[in-house]
Structure 1
Amino acid sequence: MMEMFFAQRVILQKTKFDEVPTTLQPGVYEHLDDSGVAFLAGDYQPPAE
């Protein structure tokens, strides 16, 4: 739930991806990628599964 919240804030440019808590970044990145805006995460590389 918080991941979606932060993803929306990043999309709306209210929060920078770097400001998202590090524990939530993988989930937020997944939401951004699903929305087609993964570029908003900058240089972030999701952890290998």
Structure 2
Amino acid sequence: MAVVYATLIIKGKKTIEQVPGLIREQVREILLDMDLPELAE
């Protein structure tokens, strides 16, 4: 599910604030691993 949210953030459909708290850190790590720190803020 974290990958789905990361994809939605990359496509501009969601923001990191809209990600449920339980998986927000996982999504943040995925975005950082993809060299997209600006989307993880």
Would the aligned equivalents of 2:32 and 2:40 in 1 still touch at CA under 8 Å?
Answer: no
Structure 1 segments of 4+ aligned residues over 2 angstroms from their partners: none
Q: Which ranges of structure 2 fall in alignment gaps of 5 or more residues?
A: none
- Give the greater-gyration-radius structure (CA): 1
Q: Which TM-score applies when normalising by structure 2? A: 0.89
Alpha-carbon RMSD across the aligned residues, in angstroms, is 0.7
| Number of equivalenced pairs | 41
Corresponding position of 1:30: 29
Shift of 1:36: 0.5
Q: Which ranges of structure 1 fall in alignment gaps of 5 or more residues?
A: 43-49
1:41 & 1:31 partners in 2: Cα distance?
A: 9
More helix by share: 2
How many percent identity over aligned positions?
Answer: 29
User: Relative CO higher for 1 or 2, CA cutoff 8 Å, sep ≥ 6?
Assistant: 2
